[in-house]
Amino acid sequence: MSDKHPGPLVVEGKLADAERLKKESNFLRGTIAEDLQDGLTGGFTGDNFLLIRFHGMYQQDDRDIRAERAEQKLEPRHAMMLRCRLPGGIISPQQWLGSTNLPQKARCTAASVSPTGRRSSSMASSKAT
């Protein structure tokens, strides 16, 4: 038997897109904060669209009015969902109020918060565009 421990596994070659994004995103920050403050668009741009998923956020446009908005040459009307994990299923009143204030901080026109299980909740909102 050898006393030598194998070194770290190093995979050579091109990184998968998700791994490249993680490596180049400044610890998953990207430019998400700038996109949230951008009043010109209601959505996330470029790599941020993929980065937000690592934070439990998901963006989708309203399929019911997609064709109508495209015909009017408007960008899609985006909606967001944010999933939050609640350790032990417990959330303090301050945490609850903080989470319900997120849509207003991001200038969303409508928001709803709903429990989705014993240990998580989800929030859906849409931005005016």
Tens digits of per-residue pLDDT, 33-66? 888 888 777 788 889 989 999 888 888 888 899 9
Contact 39, 107 (CB under 8 A): yes
In a domain, 86, yes or no: yes
Rounded Cα–Cα distance for residues 50 and 119 (Å): 25
| CB within 8 Å of 124: residues ≥ 6 apart | 79, 80, 81, 111, 112, 114
- Measured CA to CA, the distance from residue 32 to residue 115 in angstroms comes to 25
Structural domain for 80, as ranges: 17-127
Which residue type, as a one-letter code, is found at position 82? L
Which tokens sit at 94? 């301050």
In a domain, 44, yes or no: yes
How many distinct structural domains can be found in the chain?
A: 1
| This prediction's pTM | 0.63
Per-residue pLDDT tens over the stretch 4-19: 777 777 778 888 888 8
Q: Which amino acid is at 61?
A: D
